[in-house]
Chain A
């Protein structure tokens, strides 16, 4: 009796927790990540400097849901911003991320990205687990959040060794805003000034 109910509980837990780990290769979310990785590696091999930065920016705009990420990073402050501010904010964030990523990829030394698992969450988000294999040292775990928000599948977050890009930005931005009178304008000014540098 006790055993039976325990089994039933485990089944229930399985139904909710193990939200079908699909075959990684033929899942559209996994294919998206593999496509992005391939394009980025191609970019790194063929371009440098400003050209690479522009290429990376193009990849970000095409495959990432940047408005969603920006909204998530601003969190509660998003409601308090005007449409004009939102546009300036998103533009500045895209420039900053493009520059940051092209610098990061400047360190590239033949690593390969392998998708290991795709998990579907009940709220429509696919979580793609992948490993970045380095020639020396431990592989790095990279987790991608992919969702369809009306314009096809887009990436909405990247977690490197458990550290979410969106979450870190949110803490960063929130702290800056609350240290500058709770207003978003100084943050946008700062981001724009950095983009010009």
Chain B
């Protein structure tokens, strides 16, 4: 009995040592090697094919026309207006992320661009050194969640919007709910709210699609399974964005910060 106990302890210790050795050998660099969790693959592929049909028939042609016929200044202006409308939500997220100074910069950008920048048409704030940041609730959740940022919950394809996952889907819903502009317009009347939201999201879709034409065409042409390639690329890009945010507040950034202070002294 006792002997058996010691034997099992010994084998446990061996197992632990083997595990430690395996961890040491593989190192910590190879994170995210596993595939994205996709339990809804069949329905996702279905929605994906519908999205692609809608894209081919309606969204893509408009985006191509927009890219090729709209003057570059006009494209930049519309892009700036849409980005400016997103600033308050970014600021809210930065507050939740515990970065009040960045939130203040973002609100400063919003006030300057909305007034001097003529309702956001011109990005005056960037020109005077207020850097643009873009944060959504998906990033905030990812920032606080104690898991690898590759793990955003199950993957899903949203109708019209496209690739997302549990984390980013919930984030989108919260962002939409706290957006001051939709609260104000829906406060005026239901119709005003829908007109505002429809115009804004329609314009955002065309703006974004015209900017991703080349990258998405490239990915589609050079993959044997476009669905899987896009899933991987989406997961990696989101994870990279969230990881950078986390690293900024890690021990490494803290040390770099100290080095800078030491150099100044």
A123-B27, A161-B240, A176-B224 known; A168 and B229 CB under 8 Å? yes
A161-B237, A163-B236 known; A14 and B255 CB under 8 Å? yes
| Complex: A171 Cα to B229 Cα, angstroms | 6
Chain B: minimal CB distance from A17 (Å): 4
Determine which residue in B35, B239, B250, B256 has the highest number of CB atoms from chain A within 10 A of its CB, and name it: B35
**In the complex the two chains form, is A175's CB within 8 Å of B225's CB?**
yes
B223: chain A residues within 8 A (beta carbon) = 168, 172
A132 located at the interface, meaning its Cβ lies under 8 Å from any Cβ of chain B in the complex:
no
**In the complex the two chains form, is B232's CB within 8 Å of A14's CB?**
no
Q: Which of A19-43 contact B (CB under 8 A)?
A: none
Chain B: minimal CB distance from A149 (Å): 16
Determine which residue in A100, A122, A163, A191 has the highest number of CB atoms from chain B within 10 A of its CB, and name it: A163
Determine which residue in A14, A162, A190 has the highest number of CB atoms from chain B within 10 A of its CB, and name it: A162
| Complex: A100 Cα to B227 Cα, angstroms | 19
A123-B29, A172-B224, A172-B225 known; A167 and B252 CB under 8 Å? no
| Complex: A104 Cα to B229 Cα, angstroms | 17
A187 located at the interface, meaning its Cβ lies under 8 Å from any Cβ of chain B in the complex:
yes
A10 located at the interface, meaning its Cβ lies under 8 Å from any Cβ of chain B in the complex:
yes
List the B residue with the shortest CB-CB distance to A14.
Answer: B255
B189 located at the interface, meaning its Cβ lies under 8 Å from any Cβ of chain A in the complex:
no
Contact residue range for chain A? 20 to 34
A174: chain B residues within 8 A (beta carbon) = 35, 228
**In the complex the two chains form, is A171's CB within 8 Å of B232's CB?**
yes
A80 located at the interface, meaning its Cβ lies under 8 Å from any Cβ of chain B in the complex:
no
Q: Which of B233-265 contact A (CB under 8 A)?
A: 233, 236-237, 239-241, 250-252, 254-256
A63 located at the interface, meaning its Cβ lies under 8 Å from any Cβ of chain B in the complex:
no
B109 located at the interface, meaning its Cβ lies under 8 Å from any Cβ of chain A in the complex:
no
Contact residue range for chain B? 20 to 34
**In the complex the two chains form, is B236's CB within 8 Å of A13's CB?**
no
List the B residue with the shortest CB-CB distance to A141.
Answer: B240
Q: Is the interface of B mostly helix, strand, loop or mixed?
A: helix
B254: chain A residues within 8 A (beta carbon) = 10
**In the complex the two chains form, is B35's CB within 8 Å of A171's CB?**
yes
Determine which residue in B29, B36, B225, B237 has the highest number of CB atoms from chain A within 10 A of its CB, and name it: B225
B209 located at the interface, meaning its Cβ lies under 8 Å from any Cβ of chain A in the complex:
no
A13-B252, A17-B251, A187-B224 known; A167 and B29 CB under 8 Å? no
Chain A: minimal CB distance from B117 (Å): 18
| Complex: A172 Cα to B256 Cα, angstroms | 38
A122: chain B residues within 8 A (beta carbon) = 27, 29
- For the complex of A and B, the 10 pairs showing the least CB-CB separation, nearest first, are A162-B240, A175-B228, A171-B232, A13-B251, A172-B229, A175-B225, A176-B224, A17-B252, A176-B225, A100-B222
Q: A residues engaging B (CB < 8 A)?
A: 9-10, 13-14, 17-18, 96, 100, 103-104, 107, 121-123, 125, 159, 161-164, 167-176, 179, 187, 190-191
15 residue pairs of the A-B complex, CB under 8 angstroms, read A10-B251, A10-B254, A17-B251, A100-B218, A121-B27, A121-B29, A122-B29, A161-B237, A161-B240, A162-B240, A167-B32, A167-B236, A172-B229, A175-B227, A191-B224
